[in-house]
């Protein structure tokens, strides 16, 4: 008899996305993404951070003022797409904890990703999210809210 308490594919990949988000140095927002093909093989992951060579210690993480993080940070979804390094993403699924912004939606559409699975939609009323949903819908990218009967998964480093 096989185990019954194994995790679903959705739980697995959203879990990977959330785990990736824990690499983010952003003090306010940590977002992770995981891209998966039709065989449920992980193609790439990403989290929000600065580009290569742009030090987390030298660049600003603040949200207000003249020099903010917004000029420099690469969002999790775009990082995951770029980290795929040219792999074919046509028909792939993207798991991300926060609903993608309009800029990431453009990259998602152009890369051929067919479905976005998201955990929460905190900025649903923002212009960026409204524009994102409009473009994703026009391009035929399915968007689905993650559901699970579990509230959490835990990872132990000690057995």
Q: Answer yes or no: are the C-beta atoms of 106 and 135 closer than 8 Å.
A: yes
Q: Answer yes or no: are the C-beta atoms of 76 and 96 closer than 8 Å.
A: yes
77 is catalytic: yes
**Range in contact with Zn ion (rule: CB under 5 A) among 35-43, 48-56, 74-82, 109-117:** 74-82
Q: Which of 77, 103, 115, 158 is catalytic?
A: 77
101 binds Zn ion (CB under 5 A): yes
Nearest residue to 80 (alpha-carbon basis) of 63, 97, 68: 97
**Range in contact with Zn ion (rule: CB under 5 A) among 5-13, 49-57, 67-75, 119-127:** 67-75
Distance CA 62, CA 57 (A): 12
Distance CA 89, CA 35 (A): 8
Question: How many residues bind to Zn ion according to rule CB under 5 A?
Answer: 3
75 binds Zn ion (CB under 5 A): yes
Q: Which is nearer to Zn ion, 101 or 113 (CB)?
A: 101
Q: Which is nearer to Zn ion, 104 or 117 (CB)?
A: 104
Distance CA 91, CA 133 (A): 18
Catalytic residue numbers, as ranges: 77
């Amino acid at each position: 008899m096989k185990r019954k308490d194994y995790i679903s594919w959705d739980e697995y990949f959203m879990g990977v996305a959330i785990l990736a988000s824990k690499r983010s140095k952003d003090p306010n927002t940590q977002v992770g993404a995981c891209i998966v093909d039709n065989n449920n093989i992980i193609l790439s992951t990403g989290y929000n951070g600065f580009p290569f060579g742009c030090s987390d210690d030298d660049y600003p993480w603040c949200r207000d003022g003249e020099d903010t993080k917004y000029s420099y940070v690469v969002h999790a979804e775009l990082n995951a797409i770029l980290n795929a390094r040219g792999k074919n993403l046509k028909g792939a699924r993207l798991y991300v904890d926060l609903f993608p912004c309009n800029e990431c939606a453009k990259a998602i559409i152009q890369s051929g990703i067919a479905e976005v699975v998201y955990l929460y939609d905190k900025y649903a009323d923002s212009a960026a999210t409204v524009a994102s949903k409009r473009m994703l819908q026009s391009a035929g990218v399915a968007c689905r809210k993650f559901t699970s009967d579990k509230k959490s998964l835990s990872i132990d480093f000690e057995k």
